[in-house]
Amino acid sequence: MTWNEAEYLDCLQSERRGYAWVMQHHGGLAPKEASEAALECYAYEPAEAPYRGLIFHDEAWHWAMLAIHGDRYVVEHPSWPIRHATTEPLSSQSTSASQHRGNTPRPLSKICARAPNS
């Protein structure tokens, strides 16, 4: 996928907000820690980076829940939603990453691993 800088930055900010929200409300992080975790997970990637934006193939909810509960959270808690309804207003403030997602394979090496109390 080719991103123009404005689209990329808009998507990056949106996903950072969503990730921080989940880390704060479901992971128990303080607001500052949640923001730091989001910056760590969603680091800026320069335009020439070969896989720029690949992390956007899954939503912030998913990456945060992986960090909080581990990679089996979906199996161990099947009643939990894929995306929490209250994170939607955060991502609707700007272009949602889901609008840019394609059928990109899951980046196994890029799982945000900042869990609470880690």
Assess whether pLDDT exceeds 60 at residue 95. Answer: no
For residue 116, being part of any structural domain is answered with: no
For residue 115, being part of any structural domain is answered with: no
What pLDDT does residue 61 have?
Answer: 87
For residue 63, being part of any structural domain is answered with: yes
For residue 109, being part of any structural domain is answered with: no
For residue 38, being part of any structural domain is answered with: yes
Question: Domain range spanning residue 25?
Answer: 5-99
pLDDT-based confidence at 112, cuts 50/70/90? Answer: low
Residue burial 83-107, b: 16+ Cβ < 10 Å; e: rest: bbeebeebbeebbbbeebeeeeeee
For residue 33, being part of any structural domain is answered with: yes
- pLDDT tens sequence across 3-39: 789 999 999 999 999 999 999 998 999 999 999 999 9
- pLDDT tens sequence across 28-79: 999 999 999 999 999 999 999 988 888 888 888 889 988 998 888 888 877 7
Task: Indicate the number of domains in the chain.
Answer: 1
For residue 35, being part of any structural domain is answered with: yes
